[in-house]
Amino acid sequence: MPSCPPAFNFPTVNEVQQLIPHRPPFLFVDEIVSHEGETLVARRTWRADEDFYKGHYPGAPITPGVLLCESVFQTGALLMARLHAGQGGAGGVPLLAKVNEVRFRNPVYPGDTTLIEVKRKETMGGFHMMSGAIKCGEKRILTVEFSVAWKAPEGQVTTK
């Protein structure tokens, strides 16, 4: 039984996949909930059939902290893609440059639905300093500070 409220409807990833290059099984954002200015909120339901739960931990599965952080970083990528699309900055991707001050407060279990909030705090020299947080219902799950750079990776091979 999930410890957090489930999503009200089954989210689609169409808009998410139009904005960022991540794809299953390494896509950890289901939908954008809201976007106002420098803040974007997304949702993710952690499904019990995901492979990583088989090994983390067998018989007592919890969502790996690194994947929770990745869901925040992907939400940051969504914010940056929306902000850059409005400025004609298509063709780039946000590349993670720095992670600091990660604080885990509560675990996330299979079936939980989380809300992920990311805010851009400032931009200096092409780097965007951001903060992120995850909540599950009223419970705080994690907070993290991170930086990204918007780049068109050179030599990147893309396939569709």
The one catalytic residue among 35, 56, 84, 128:
56
Gap between the Cα atoms of 38 and 92, Å rounded: 18
Is 56 noted as a catalytic residue in this protein? Answer: yes
Closest alpha carbon to 119 in 65, 78, 64, 66: 78
In 10 A of CB 139, how many CB atoms?
15
Gap between the Cα atoms of 129 and 45, Å rounded: 26
Gap between the Cα atoms of 147 and 45, Å rounded: 25
Rg (CA), the chain: 16
**Residues with active-site annotation:** 56
